[in-house]
Amino acid sequence: YYLPPTLIDNLGCCLGGVINLTPVELACQLGQTVFAETKAGYDSWLAAPAIQRVFGFDPNERLAQVHGYQPMETSSLVESERNSRQLHWLPFA
């Protein structure tokens, strides 16, 4: 499910994104600043088996990978750009 970005004066585009296990790895490669939301685990009785059956992966395993992801620092960037390329976790779980 895609949320289009919202333009906010003096800040830029905000709040766009995909609601699911978005490839945070890709978002960090493409965006200078990425905000990612921590999520609660999928219940093992209904949600996890359904996602496993339909999509072919364990959603709790993928969620652990996502929550543990740390973007690589790009050495070719100047210091100011390097400091702005960050992944920010929002504690909403």
Q: How far, in Å, CA of 79 to CA of 58, rounded?
A: 38
- DSSP structural state of residue 36: E
Quote the percentage of the chain above a pLDDT of 70: 69
In 3D space, the residue among 35, 59, 56 whose CA is nearest the CA of residue 47 turns out to be: 59
* 32-43 residue pLDDT tens: 888 888 888 888
Strand partners, 2: 18
Backbone angles phi and psi of 78, in degrees to 5? -70, 160
* 53-75 residue pLDDT tens: 988 889 899 889 888 888 876 55
pLDDT band for 21, please (50, 70, 90 cuts). Answer: low
The pLDDT of residue 58: 92
Instruction: Give the C-alpha distances (Å, rounded to integers) separating 47 from 29, 44, 53, 56, 61.
Output: 30, 7, 10, 13, 13
